[in-house]
Amino acid sequence: MNSKIRVRYAPSPTGYIHIGNLRTALYNYLFARNTGGEFIVRIEDTDRTRYVPGAVENLINTLSWAGLDYDEGPEKGGAFAPYYQSERLSIYKEHADYLIKNKKAYYCFCTPERLSQLREEQKKINNDTRYDKHCLHLSEEEIQKNLADGVPYVIRLNVEKGIKIAFKDIVRGDVEFMSDIIDDQILIKSDGFPTYHLANIIDDHLMEVSHVIRGEEWLPSAPKHILLYQAFGWEPPLFAHLPLLLNPDRTKLSKRQGDVAVEDYKKKGYLKEALINFIALLGWTAGDDKEIYNFDELIKSFSLERVNDSGAVFDIEKLNWLNEEHLRAKPDSEIVVMLRDELQHTKYAKDDYTDEYLVNVIEAMKPRITFVKDIFEKAPYFFEEPETYEEASVKKGWKANSPDILKKFAEKISAIENPKKEDYEKAIADTATEMNVGKGNVIHPLRLATSGVSGGPGINDICYIIGKEKVEERIKRIIEKLG
């Protein structure tokens, strides 16, 4: 085997990218970068019935968004191009012919009707449904006549019975299968395209892939692939089958219980850093209690030996927590760019906000949000005057003397030019003293006036951010409305 570490991510362009597929790509990427190896992307597009236009572009864009920069593949090329299987058909045909010549594979001319009848007969007697090798016993003359007459055919692998297929999986340890349970799988379909099994192992061999890192659902296919490697006389790569992703009820992760497409999480505003951190921990641990990683830390810490063999539960609450943590760790200058982008999708798009103003809003709201867009939902008062006042807060915090208290507070701040946070704090304290009330009797109605709600950042922050003029306007407005 080639001593160089070479791994590949080989998706089918069938639509959106499942979160589990992104984890497969991530683990391949982290392993390659950790070992100084190479990360290949190959498009397995031989099943034309499932091909979705635009899926390849979406795939490449998603990998780019996630920061998974590949060394060889579509658009980049490489020493083993082409990286689209649909452009490698002659390679597969040549290798299938080799298998037929060496009696490792054979032509099958059985009609769909015969195959359907065979399955029904096997079901009736509770036998596993598999091909009965009928066409393996055709004479050379019959085969050549069928080919000359244009009879539709597939090419099947000739699986010998009674053979033990054993290999060591990096994640699962020793794995054994008996060939008796393996069907004479189709290698070339009637449309001339190869099946996944044939194209996959030919490309992995020719592209010098050293490790095949893929989901647990491919484990039953591993013996088929090993038989193909043996049929060609090739040494198989090392295998690592990753654990399933599970819903909280431990069923297989599915769209019925929540989003499974990477695109959905992008649209909802999850940071790529949080999503990558989260899916890295779905089946892997560095062996300590650390949970927050940046990309470089993941690369440095990752190893296949520490991937678990049991299913990993997709915990959306943990993802939300990680998003909050990564958002708080970002510099304000980055978040401002994100906030301006979100602004374009709101009714405030035409308003003109300085970076300084937005940074102040961000600093006040950072501890209180999961996504940048939450700012507009949780603190619209930074962008518009409140239209209504929280009913429960009015009952609790708006008293008969509240208008007089707010008027006194407004007098205090009107005398200050460009007040700072501490000026607002002093004005609250002085107002409380002069009106002979507790500071809460100033703070509660002032918060209602400026924000319309009872929660949120400190009242000094709110007043300082929106500015003295808006504070005075909002005080006047609430007095007019509530009396």
For the annotated catalytic residues, the residue numbers are 255
Structure tokens, 410: 């407004």
What does each C-alpha distance from 135 to 108, 139, 142, 148 come to in angstroms? Answer: 5, 9, 10, 16
- C-beta of residue 376 within 8 angstroms of C-beta of residue 383: yes
Residue 63 half-sphere exposure toward CB, CA atoms < 13 A: 26
CA 127 to chain centre: 40
Amino acid occupying residue 367: P
CA distance 168 to 159: 21
Class of residue 199 by CB neighbours under 10 A (exposed 0-12, middle 13-18, buried 19+): buried
- C-beta of residue 12 within 8 angstroms of C-beta of residue 41: no
Q: What angle do CA 178, 181, 186 make, to 5 degrees?
A: 115
CA distance 230 to 227: 5
Q: Which residue has the tokens 């000094």?
A: 460
- C-beta of residue 39 within 8 angstroms of C-beta of residue 7: yes
